[in-house]
Amino acid sequence: MPPKARITKEQIVSAGLELARQAGPEAINARAVASRLGCSTQPVFSNYAAMDALQQDVLAAAAALAQRYMDPSARPDLPPYKAAGMGYIRFAAEEPALFRWVYMRDRSAERHSDDRAENAWVIRLIMEKTGLDEEQAWLFHLETWLFVHGVAATLATGYVDWDEALISDMLTDVFQGLRARFAGKGGS
């Protein structure tokens, strides 16, 4: 008798990601994952004693997928800052359930890190492209990000269905408008 195929942790996370993608994170449980993998629940429980741990690994996989969407190198046809924003919006449009889980869940109990440290490359890029100082570049980014997140949230919830060209034009308008406003405050 041939040995049973080994179900890996990566396969379990991948199955959980598919479940979250199709039915939201609440669909992730041992039975559903095992069913998707065509196995018993034993391999799931061998790798995850608690479903919270599996959900956290699947959430991390969803966040990593979001980061790949936002990688500026994925859109070499756009300036890097715009490419990251358009990638965030595209993630929301193409993966609405995952977007809502990663970016629209209740995070009030989570510990927040210093976003400036996480976004240092963005701040430097804005400073280079606009001539703004670090504080102005940070505020510029916050305002741009709030716009980008708003567009993404409306797409992820099905409230609007705008095409990429319109969104790209709007993002350019926001960038140019903020640059003009901040230039009036002492930036170049």
**DSSP designation for 71:** -
pLDDT in tens, 121-137: 899 999 998 999 999 99
pLDDT in tens, 54-84: 999 999 999 999 999 999 999 999 999 999 9
Cα atoms in the Cβ-side hemisphere of radius 13 Å centred on 132: 24
What does the mean pLDDT of the chain come to?
92
Tell which CATH classification among 1.10.10, 1.10.1060, 1.10.3470, 1.10.1740 matches the domain 1-62.
1.10.10
Q: Is 28 helix (H, G, I), strand (E, B) or coil?
A: coil
Residue ranges per structural domain of the chain: 1-62, 71-188
pLDDT grade, residue 5 (50/70/90)?
A: low
Distances (CA, A) of 74 to 53, 146, 153, 156: 30, 22, 21, 21
Indicate whether 187 pLDDT > 80.
no
pTM equals: 0.89
Print burial letters for 162-173: b (CB count within 10 Å at least 16), e (below 16): eeeeebbeebee
How confident is the model over 145-164, as a mean pLDDT?
96
Count Cβ atoms within 10 A of the Cβ of residue 51 and give its class: 0-12 exposed, 13-18 middle, 19 or more buried.
middle
pLDDT grade, residue 105 (50/70/90)?
A: very high
CA distance 56 to 102: 11
User: What tokens does 140 get?
Assistant: 């510029």
Distances (CA, A) of 18 to 13, 25, 37, 68: 9, 10, 11, 17
